[in-house]
Structure formats: structure tokens, C-alpha cells
């Protein structure tokens, strides 16, 4: 029974990811280098924050996160006070991705970067 839930939990997470990959994510955002930040904002929406850096450039920051719950089981064991059985609980999975876009004085994106465990995009066919 425990194996069934472990397998179903793995399949659930796998199906949620679909065909999303980090490589597709990189391809998606590499195309923005050389484009104006106002075009990106018109498509992605307003950033969560922005700040000026020492070289006169500006950095725009987008934060994306999601929380999901996957059913999981804890194993039972015999202890000094008796048997402690299986317990079902929800495992919390937090996915995050922070995007950074650096622009020059004219608002042109010169580079970008990301940080997080869910910086993925759907494959373009």
C-alpha cells in the first residue's frame, strides 16, 4: 500500500511538470536580450520590484511561486511503548522562480538571470 502512494505521488508531480524544462526557459528569456523592457512588461505584467545599480543600469525583478500538497505516508515501527502505525499527511511542495532583467539607460535588456527550483517553461514546437 505504501508503494502505491509513493508511486502515485511521483506520477502526480511528474504530470504537473508536463514538458516544462529549464532549457526551454533559457531559450524563452534569451530572446529578450536586446529588446526594450516596456515590451516585456506589456506581456509579462509589472515586475514585483526594481532597483538601480552602480553602473547606471536598472534591474527589474519578477517573483513567481506556487505551493502544492501531495499525499504522503510515514512508516510505522515498534517502540518501547508499542506499535506506532502508518500516518497519512500532506507533504508541502513550494516552487519558486525569481527573474532578474538588467536594462541599460535606454531601457534595453542587456542580460537576465534567474534563481529558484521552478524556473521552467513549456517546450515550443
Residues spanned by the domain of 68: 2-122
pLDDT at 10 (0 to 100): 47
Tell me if 51 sits within 8 A of 59, measured CB to CB: yes
pLDDT at 26 (0 to 100): 93
pLDDT at 20 (0 to 100): 78
Cα distances (angstroms) measured from residue 86 to each of 2, 17, 73, 90: 9, 29, 7, 13
Number of domains in the chain: 1
C-alpha torsion sign, points 118, 119, 121, 123? negative
* pTM score of the predicted model: 0.69
Q: What share of the chain is helix, strand, coil (3-state, %, to 5)?
A: 25, 45, 30
Q: Is 48 left (phi over 0), alpha (psi -120 to 50) or beta?
A: alpha
Tell me if 120 sits within 8 A of 99, measured CB to CB: no
Strand partners, 68: 93
Q: How does DSSP classify residue 102?
A: E
pLDDT at 93 (0 to 100): 87
Tell me if 115 sits within 8 A of 122, measured CB to CB: no
pLDDT at 19 (0 to 100): 66
Please give the average pLDDT of every successive group of 10 residues along the chain, which has 125 residues: 48 53 92 97 96 97 90 62 61 91 98 94 67
Amino acid at each position: 500500500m505504501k508503494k502505491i502512494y509513493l508511486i502515485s505521488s511521483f506520477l502526480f508531480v511528474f504530470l504537473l511538470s508536463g514538458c516544462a524544462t529549464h532549457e526551454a526557459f533559457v531559450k524563452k528569456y534569451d530572446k529578450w536580450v536586446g529588446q526594450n523592457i516596456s515590451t516585456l512588461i506589456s506581456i509579462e505584467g509589472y515586475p514585483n520590484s526594481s532597483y538601480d545599480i552602480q553602473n547606471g543600469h536598472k534591474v527589474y525583478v519578477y517573483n513567481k511561486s506556487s505551493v502544492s500538497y501531495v499525499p504522503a505516508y510515514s512508516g510505522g515501527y515498534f517502540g518501547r511503548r508499542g506499535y506506532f502505525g502508518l500516518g497519512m499527511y500532506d507533504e508541502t511542495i513550494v516552487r519558486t522562480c525569481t527573474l532578474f532583467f538588467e536594462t541599460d539607460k535606454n531601457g534595453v535588456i542587456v542580460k537576465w538571470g534567474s534563481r529558484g527550483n521552478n524556473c521552467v517553461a513549456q517546450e515550443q514546437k
